Chains A and B, each alone.
Chain A
Amino acid sequence: MNMRKRFGLPGSSYVLITLLVVLMTLLLSWFGLAFDLVNIALIFLFPVLLSAVLWGLRPAFYAAVLGVLAFDFFFVPPTLSFSIADLRYVVSFCVYLSVAALTASLAARLKQQLLFSRQREARTAALYELSKQLSDIADLDSLLDGISRQVLRNVGTEIAIYLANDRRRLDLAYGSARSGGWGHGEAERTIAKWVFEHGEAAGSGTSTLRESPGYYVPLRTEDRVYGVMALLLNDGKNGVAPEDQRLLEAIAGLAASAITRIRLADEAKIAHLTAESERLRTAILDSVSHELRTPLAAIIGSATGLIEGDQLFTSEDRMELLLTIRDGALRMNRLVINLLSMAQLESGMLRLRKNWCDVEDLIGVALSQVRDFRQHRRLRVQLPEAVPMVSGDEVLLEQMLVNIVSNAIKYSPDYSEIVIGVQASDQELTLAVADQGTGLPEDEYARIFEKFYRSPAASRVTGTGLGLAICKGIAELHGGTISAKANVPRGTVVTVTLPLPRQSAPPILSHEGRIEEDDRE
């Protein structure tokens, strides 16, 4: 126990008592003549009381015996001899010894009770603290972490917590020892399994497997066992004290109910996700089937028309049908690219090919992609004096920009202006694409980056609801963000931020190996 440490080693108390008695004997023999012998005997009770309070019963007895001997030898005539002239002193010695014994045992018991009440207080405080902590924790890992810290503070040296998985098999969910250490071994698992199956504690200090150096307690609520908490004890031979057992059981009970709570929350989350994915699947089917069928219908219709009625069409009609086929196929191509990108982003298969990217160049490439279908919208680029390079995947960033600008074109009227602005700070680069389209209600701006979400206001324009979701995926892959808000006075601004690397690109070397000075003014 910790308490013992505060008073030093058990042996040192005897040394101190001996020293004290010797000192008192010396002092009393110096002034002894001034005292009556009865007073001296009473004074020798002092070390007995002191040691009873400080060290407990045995040192107190030792002090009593030592006191009697010193009293007899130095003060009772004949002095400097254990022999007693007057037999009445034997009675005095007996009275002295019984008074010493009585007071010592009283004092010692008082001390013991103090100790117990302190321990009890510490345990209650620990439980209270734990229950308070557990009620705030929402994930299993930090829950186990909290329990383990609390338990190790009070009992044991190593802790391992096993939790049952879906197939009712125990997995090691938390181990304070390094892998391969205590708790990871087969022996511990076997005992834990027994405890899990029987729902009662085992190991040192219990009636089952008491030879084991560990103590195993089930994590159980009223109706089920969630797992097992195993402790490697400081002092395996003595077992766990009943108070510690009660503490551990209480902690195990708290842990079990916290685990129930977390599991229930998880299940609720999964149920919600399942419902959500069901909804998504329906949305995907609706959106994709519509987006696939429409261009297919145009392609098949035009092609069969051309084949079957070759003579009926004028050359202008024929060109019209051919353009319909081309446009339908291009539209399907875009859809396929978007679906593939989305699938890649979602599956985590996408590897970034990071490289230094010139933002001005990225914008240029993206604009060249959308130039064909912008009709008469004016695309204006606002660049600061110097644009820092960003570190990223050129192809993906270009795809992101194309998607954002295409979106701006799609949802804004012809002859309106679309402004692509770039701003750079020390930490990040901000790209904003502002259109003068219809805009959206405020609460929809967060939702347009959701997969397959399409604003009801946009239903007359074809689309899958994938483009901006892909942009979000790409921005986040780069450690950046994407958001949208209303433009002033009208339209929408989509803003992308990309983090700038802490250190900028290394200096530019010419092929002669030095920085090349440009001779422009």
Chain B
Amino acid sequence: MTVNESGARILIVDDEPQIRKLLKVALQAHRYVVHEASTGEEGIRQASLVQPELIVLDLGLPDLSGMEVLSRIRSWSAAPIIVLTAKDREEDKIAALDGGADDYVTKPFGMGELVARIRVALRHAAKSTGEPVLRFGELSIDLAQRIVELNGERVKLTPTEYDLLKILASNAGKVVTQRQLLQQVWGEHHDESDSHYLRIYIGHLRKKLEEDSTDPKFIVTEPGIGYRFLSRDS
């Protein structure tokens, strides 16, 4: 844990008192400063009042839709937002992620998972201009020279494969939706209907980077949502 993560202000917007209590206890134990809001309106007000460094937002709020709260906060705040959703609401997750949320956690969640997501989001928010070389264990990606090395050996990637890897790796630990990947690699006019391109290139990348592509160490699939590049501590 780096210094600037400790003591970060986190705003929890959730209508369930039990979940708020649980999050407060657990996050305070990890030395975060926790603020709470039980409705969407209150959440938006608190967000402008306490200027949190990160917001945990439940998508199922009684007064406003989670998407509404998300877009209103996003309209003036760049603080990372992690949304909490139910298991079978893939559409909501994708809409939230494409609408400006940084990550999602599915209820019921393990505390370790949530804290890991919070750390990744805070670290991404704090990071200034990118370092020239990204390192993940035996894998290194030299962004300046477009060179990828695995165990010290150079891996040959096609331009598309490299672009995909770059986007995933520079968002290490964070989920990236299929749409975000398609639009960033292939261009604005591509959407989910082109997702088979993505699957094929991810398949190629895994064959080049992973020892066992049915047990990936770097690029894991979030079914129905997108992909997540695993960093060592997430």
Contact = CB atoms under 8 A, between A and B. Distances in A.
Interface of A: 329, 333, 337, 340-341, 344, 353, 355-358, 360-365, 367-368, 381, 383, 389, 393-395, 398, 505-506, 508-511, 516-520
Nearest to A505: B196
Given A355-B195, A519-B158, A520-B156, A360 B224 contact: no
29 contacts: A344-B88, A353-B224, A355-B192, A355-B224, A357-B199, A358-B200, A360-B203, A360-B214, A361-B199, A361-B203, A361-B221, A363-B214, A364-B213, A365-B220, A365-B223, A368-B215, A368-B220, A383-B214, A394-B223, A394-B224, A395-B88, A395-B224, A508-B200, A511-B163, A511-B185, A511-B187, A516-B160, A517-B158, A518-B158
Contacts of B221: 361, 364-365
Given A357-B199, A365-B223, A511-B187, 17 more contacts: A340-B88, A355-B192, A358-B199, A358-B202, A361-B202, A361-B203, A361-B221, A364-B216, A383-B214, A389-B199, A505-B196, A505-B200, A509-B197, A511-B185, A511-B186, A516-B159, A519-B156
Counting chain B CB atoms within 10 Å of each CB, the highest count among A505, A518, A520 belongs to: A518
Contacts of A395: 88, 90, 223-224
A367 B215 contact: yes
Contacts of A337: 87
A506 B213 CA distance: 23
Q: Classify the interface of chain A: helix, strand, loop or mixed.
A: mixed
Given A364-B221, A368-B215, A389 B158 contact: no
B197 A508 contact: yes
A381 B199 contact: no
Contact of B160 (A355, A368, A510, A519): A510
Contacts of A365: 220-221, 223
Contacts, number: 79
Nearest to B220: A368
B130 interface: no
B108 interface: yes
Contact of B196 (A368, A389, A510): A389
Q: 6 nearest interchain CB pairs?
A: A356-B196, A364-B214, A395-B224, A505-B196, A358-B199, A394-B223
Nearest to A391: B196
Interface residues of B, number: 31
Interface string B199-212: 11111100000000
B158 A510 contact: yes
A381 to B, nearest CB: 5
Contacts of B186: 509, 511
B191 to A, nearest CB: 11
A355 to B, nearest CB: 5
Contacts of A393: 224
A358 to B, nearest CB: 4
Nearest to A333: B108
A160 to B, nearest CB: 46
A360 B195 CA distance: 15
A340 B186 CA distance: 38
A516 B158 contact: yes
Contacts of A358: 199-200, 202-203
A365 B220 CA distance: 8
B87 to A, nearest CB: 6
A520 B199 CA distance: 18
A355 B160 CA distance: 21
Nearest to A340: B88
Contacts of A362: 223
Interface in B17-66: none
Contacts of A511: 159-160, 163, 185-187
Contacts of B223: 362, 365, 394-395, 398
Contacts of A360: 203, 213-214
A506 B214 contact: no
Counting chain A CB atoms within 10 Å of each CB, the highest count among B91, B160, B202 belongs to: B160
A355 B90 CA distance: 13
B163 to A, nearest CB: 7
A368 B199 CA distance: 18
Contacts of A329: 108
Interface string B157-191: 01110010000000000000000000001110000
